Amino acid sequence: RHRFQIDRFEAMLRGYVAEGPPLSPQEAAHLVDAGRLITLELASRFARDVLEDEYFAFDAERYPDRRSHNRARTRAMLYLAQDMADQRDAVAALVERHVGGCCA
């Protein structure tokens, strides 16, 4: 099961703040939900390929067919998105701490 690793998110955030251009309050606020939304988008793409069976490659050593692999991918992304949702308040606190002015 995939887990959201908040320590890695914080490391990424610290690195960006140290080296990247300044974020507007709106951009910083979007950071709180962006990863979860992208994860849900990817889950929907995997789910679509369960039905259409044409886009993503699959690991033939671990799965009998492309649909089985995409079902597993969909499930993994949904678990990850739920874990991200469960940690949303902690993510918002980190963004507020490192960027400020967006999420308090």
Task: Strands of 1-104 (E only): list them.
Answer: none
For the cut 90, the answer to whether the pLDDT of residue 86 exceeds it is: yes
Dist CA 58 CA 31 (whole Å):
31
Q: Domain residues of the chain, as ranges?
A: 6-98
The total of other beta-carbon atoms located within 10 Å of residue 58's CB is: 18
φ, ψ (nearest 5 deg) of residue 63: -135, 145
Q: Which two tokens stand for residue 77?
A: 């992304």
For residues 10-34, average pLDDT: 92
For the cut 70, the answer to whether the pLDDT of residue 57 exceeds it is: yes
Q: Which two tokens stand for residue 47?
A: 């789910």
Q: For the whole model, what pTM was predicted?
A: 0.85
